[in-house]
Each structure stands twice: as C-alpha cells, then as structure tokens.
Structure 1
Amino acid sequence: MLKDSVYDRVSGIHSKQPWFVLGAAQEFLLYHSDIPSISHFYSFEADPATEQVLAIPDGCVDILFDCDEQRPTAKVCGTTLEATNAEFIHNHRYFGVRFVPGVIPDFLKASAQELIEHQLNLLDIMPNADRVFEQIVSSSVFANQVGIFEKFYKNQLARKLSILTKQTIHEVFIKKGNIQIQDLEASTGYCTRTLQRQFRADMGMSPKAFSRIIRCQSAVYDLNHNKGVTFSDLACDLGFSDQSHFLREFKKLVSVTPLDYLHRVKQEAYVARLRYF
C-alpha cells in the first residue's frame, strides 16, 4: 500500500533522476511546483556509502544548490546526453530546481549550447543572484527554500522559443519521443534543414537528440509507474525496431538494463527514501 501511494503521488513528475534518489543518505524530498515552467523541487543529503551518482538524460535544466555550511555553491546543470557522473559531494545537502524539458530560464546569461552537458556556476551566469543564493543556502528547511525560489521566480520568464521549436517539442512529447524527422516535416510544413537549424539554435541540440532523451524518459516513467509492463511491449510502444535495440539504448542512457532498473526502483530501499510534499 505504501509503495502504491508513493508512486501515485510522484506520478505527476515526468522527468526522473532515479540515481539521485538511490544516492540519498536518507530522505529524498520532492515538491511538484504549480509554476508551469518548473517540473519540481528536490532536496537530499549525498550518501557517503554511494561511490558514484549518475545523471541520466532528461532534457531539463537544473539549478542545484550545495548547502554546505563552509563552502556553499550553486551550479546550473544542462541535460546530459547519456549517463554521466553527477559529482555530488558526500554528506553535503543539496536543494534542486528542475525546469520542465525544453524550458531555459531567461535570467541565465548562457546559450542553450553552453548548457548542454555542462555545469556552470550560477553566480557567473545569473546577474544579481547573490541575495536569493544566500537565502537558499542559509535555510535548512526544504519548504522555506521552495518558497524563496518561487517568490524570486514569480517575476521571471522562460526564454522565448520560436514557434517552430515549440511545435516540434509538442510533437515530440505527444509521441513520447517516438518520432522521425520526416514526421516533423509533415506536421510542421518545414524541411529538415530548417527544423534542425532552428531547433539547435533554441535548444542547443538536434530534434533527434531531444527525441531520444524524451523516449528514454518515457521508458523510465513507464517502468516506474505502470504495473506489469513487459519489455517487448514497451519497446514496441516506443518505436524500437526490436527488443534488443531497446535494451541496448536503455543501458547506454540509464547505465543499467531495464530489468536491473526495474528491480532497483521497485524495492523498498528506493521507495522508502521518497517524501512528497
């Protein structure tokens, strides 16, 4: 019953970082924001018993505050393109803001290309960030940190995307990443070259790379939240040519096989860490 209730409550969060949860020393706190451009907030202490915590592709920008009392820092993390070491410091407490896939806050003075697979110092690319930074890292209460950031962000905007890129993102989401460039040509009325040029200018990656990320996250979500899912059905639903192709792709982006992943996220050790507000 506990497992079902926890998974039901976090089902509204579609951008998953499962290894962050498993890398938490104790609780992994979650809050699903009412702000449309923010996916959720999260907080945890990095477990010293976990050697390495991986970030998987999610198409999101995160602002991650390291709330260490001696040397607090904050960095802006663009999406990875495959499983990558997140470089958490043992015993440090983190507070994170995850924006929805495709959203880049306009207050960040960095291009989309500069964010992909990079971690940039928040204070270097966000003018006048000192006050909100000091308020967040000085608080030890998750709800207060959420409130501080939401108050700051209510007067901020997401970076404007072209109409073509917005339409492309919409189509990718509808198809759960299972979409080809010719499908986008047909739905948008633009040629491949224009689609790719505009999308890369807005998002820092190709439509194919973004679709691959969303298809990966769709697989992760289904494994987390759908009971009795079979790998063959999931592979078919997401448009893989065969199950072996799906297994190879999943392992490359998530670092483990779907079976191993399923065993880890369905265990009490995973679920017991989650605290949803």
Structure 2
Amino acid sequence: MSHSSLVNSLAGIRSKQPWLVMNAAEKFSLSGSDNPIISHFYSFEAKDAREATFAIPDGCVDILFDCDSDRPTAEVFGTPMAAMNMELNSQHRYFGVRFLSGIIPDCFNVSAEELIDHHYSFLDVVPQSNQVFEAIVTSSNFTEQAALFGDFFESKETRKPSDLTTQVLQSICQSNGTIRINDLEDLTGYSTRTVQRQFRADMGMTPKAFSQIIRCQSAVYDINHSEEVAFSDLACDLGFSDQAHFQREFKKLVHTTPLDYLHRVKHETYLERIRYL
C-alpha cells in the first residue's frame, strides 16, 4: 500500500480530545487543513476553573501554542497511553495543530518512542521555528494562525513507516482497533515477533497499544454522536470480552466511566460547543 493510501486510511480515524472541548471557556473552534497529514487546527480559551483537563490517547502528535501576551509558549505533545492531566492556564488563548493518528513529521528531532507520553518545547524539537512561533503567538486570528502554520509546514516531510507497519496500521484502523495480534501474523505473513518489532521501531509503541487507542477513540466518537448508547452492545462491537472489561479500559484511557462520560457530554452540550470554520 502506498503512503498516500495510508494517509487516506488514517484520515478516517476521528481523533478527539473531548476534555479540551468541554473545558473551553466558550466555543472550541475547529478548522480543516489542505495538508493531507494534518487532521485539523483548533483554537480555544481555557476556562477559569479548578477542574483538570485531561488528554486522552488518540495516536496523534499535537502542537499546542499558548498565546499569552506575556509568556507565550509552544509544546509538541506525543500521544498519551492513558488519560493524562494537561496543565492549561486559565483564561489563556490556545492554538493547536493535530496531525493524523499514526503520522510523525520528519522535521521533529525526537524519535517516535521518545514522543510517547511526553511533551517537548516546540522551539527545541523543530529547527528554524522561531519565526513561525512569533507570528502565531502574536496573532489573535485563528484563520491567520492556521495559514501561518500551513505555510511553514508545506515543505516538510513525514516519516514513512515500513511496508509492514503500513499494512498493520491500515488493518488496525479499518477494524476500529478490534483486530487481534495473532490475525496480523496471518494477514502479513510475518511472525508476531517481527510484526511487533517493526511496528515499535516505526511507531514507538506496539500494535496492541495502537489498537487500544483506536478502540478508545471509536468508543468516544460513538458516545459523542449518539442520543442513546447501549454499553453492552458498544463493548461487543469493539471486541471486548464483556462490559466490565470495556468499562475498566475506558476509565483508564478517558479518566471516567462510560456512563459518567455520557452524562458529561450531554450536560456540557459537547457537539454544540464545536464551531467549524
């Protein structure tokens, strides 16, 4: 499968960070990108509240700019493997860039494995980024910020995974994370050990870990967009042995139970908070 076909496959993964949306002071602005490896741009002002904001596993690399006029910063975030507290500053305005799940820009001077569960200064990780950093944090216009980053990143490449990892990524995404590791051996013709070793070298994590991420995102998407959810059916659809297993994994990855998350989504009118530009 070609790299462009992989990008098209990954574009179907609906990466969400719901706590960012629900902890925005007002609207959470979201915009698509002409660059095929960028999932979307987003912008919000953080609530003036004591409640923590959590990042959940999504398989994505994010760049988050804190556009504070006194002390602006920008950080590159790798995907967390479980719900992770984000230290946002109340009433600060943020601009974010989210790459497609499974995509790692080649201009980053850190490895795939070093990105997992970590974040780094954008200026340290991305060479020759001072000018675009200054332009983005001093702009108050979301559309302009997206255009500035888009122009900066237009000539940048992505790290192309091996053909084996590409095949595994596509299979995981098409199955919503429900494919079993043993099935990958039959599908690829390689031993489980070889599949895991190559996938980890390319992606910084095991196929099983990436499958859990995609499965988590599928559950979050279904809850966000459904009026009523039968958790037993959802657990079955996502390949869990029983509902209790689904609830345990969901709580670890999303920081709350599926039922509590559903109540929060409806109370905060999650979908109404998102403003598409």
Give, in whole Å, the separation in 2 of the partners of 1:197 and 1:134: 40
Instruction: Find the aligned partners of 2:189 and 2:13 in 1 and give their Cα distance.
Output: 32
- Residue 13 of structure 1 and its aligned partner are, at CA, apart by 7.3
Number of residues of Structure 1 aligned to a counterpart in Structure 2: 266
Q: 1:170 and 2:164 equivalent? A: no
Does residue 76 of the first structure (1) align with residue 76 of the second (2)?
yes
Separation (CA, whole Å) in 2 of partners of 1:36 and 1:265: 29
Q: Work out whether residues 13 and 32 of structure 1, in 8 Å CA contact, stay in contact via their aligned partners in 2.
A: no
TM-score of the aligned structures, taking structure 1 as reference length: 0.93
Q: What is the aligned partner in structure 2 of residue 100 from structure 1? A: 100
Distance across 2 between alignment mates of 1:130 and 1:157: 19
Instruction: Look up the match of 2:9.
Output: none
| In 1, Cα distance between equivalents of 2:57 and 2:137 | 26
2: CA distance, partners of 1:81 / 1:198: 19
Cα gap change, 1:102 to 1:214, in 2 (>3 Å): same
For 2:120, the aligned partner's letter is: L
Give CA-to-partner distance per residue, 1:200-225, whole Å, 9 cap, x none: 11111111111011100010011112
| 2:122 paired with 1:122 | yes
Task: After TM superposition, give the deviation of residue 154 of structure 1 in Å.
Answer: 1.6
- Write the distance in 2 (CA, Å) between the matches of 1:21 and 1:192: 38
SS at match of 1:156: coil
Show the counterpart of 2:33.
Answer: 33
Q: Deviations over 1:216-242 (max 9, x none)?
A: 001001111234331111101000001
Distance between the aligned counterparts of 2:261 and 2:51, measured in 1? 18
Name the structure 2 match of 1:160. 160
Q: Structure 1 residues 268 and 252, CA, compared in 2 at 3 Å: closer, same or farther?
A: closer
Partner SS state of residue 94, structure 2: strand
TM normalised by structure 2 equals 0.93
Matches within 5 A, 1:85-96: 85-96=85-96
* 1:82-138 alpha-carbon deviations (Å, 9 max, x no partner): 001011111111100000110001111110011000010111111100111111111
Residues 19 and 55 of structure 1 are in contact (CA less than 8 Å); yes or no, is this contact kept in structure 2? yes
Aligned to 1:5: none
Structure 2 residue 266 is matched with structure 1 residue 253: no
Please tell me whether the aligned partners of residues 22 and 268 of structure 2 are also in contact (alpha carbons under 8 angstroms): no
User: For 1:253 and 1:186, how far apart are their aligned partners in 2?
Assistant: 29
One-letter code of the match for 2:145?
Q
Shift of 1:268: 5.0
* Cα distance between partner residues in 1 of 2:68 and 2:241: 47
Q: Is contact 2:224–2:271 with CA below 8 Å preserved after alignment?
A: no
C-alpha contact 1:13 1:39 (8 A) present in aligned 2 = no
Correspondence for 1:146: 146
**Alignment map for 1:182-221 (pairs within 5 Å):** 182-221=182-221
Identity of aligned pairs, percent? 62
Aligned to 1:242: 242
Can you list the C-alpha shifts for 1:5-32, whole angstroms capped at 9, x where unaligned?
xxxxxxx771011100111111211112
Give distance in 1, aligned partners of 2:164 and 2:102.
Answer: 13
- CA positional deviation for 1:269: 4.2
Distance in 2 between residues matched to 1:207 and 1:98, nearest whole Å:
21
How far apart, in 1, do the equivalents of 2:41 and 2:266 lie?
Answer: 22
Contact 1:103 1:158 in 2 (8 A): yes
Amino acid across the alignment from 2:230: T
The 2-side partners of 1:224 and 1:35 are apart by 26
Q: Which stretch of the first structure deviates more once superposed, 45-54 or 209-218?
A: 45-54
Matched AA of 2:170: H
Q: Distance in 1 between matches of 2:34 and 2:210?
A: 25
Q: State the distance in 1 between where 2:262 and 2:81 align.
A: 21
Give the aligned partner of residue 4 of structure 1: none
Unaligned runs of 5+ in 1: 1-11
Residue identity opposite 1:129 in structure 2: S
Task: Using the TM superposition, give the Cα deviation of residue 50 of structure 1 relative to its aligned residue in structure 2, in angstroms.
Answer: 4.0
> C-alpha deviations, 1:45-99, integer Å up to 9, x for none?
1112142100000000001111111111111000000001011111111100000
- Contact 1:162/1:202 (CA < 8 Å) preserved in 2? yes
RMSD over aligned Cα atoms: 1.3
Q: 1:140 and 1:257 mapped to 2: Cα distance? A: 37
Which residue identity is paired with 1:253?
L
Structure 2: tracts of 5 or more residues without a match: 1-11
Alignment-mate amino acid for residue 215 of structure 2? R
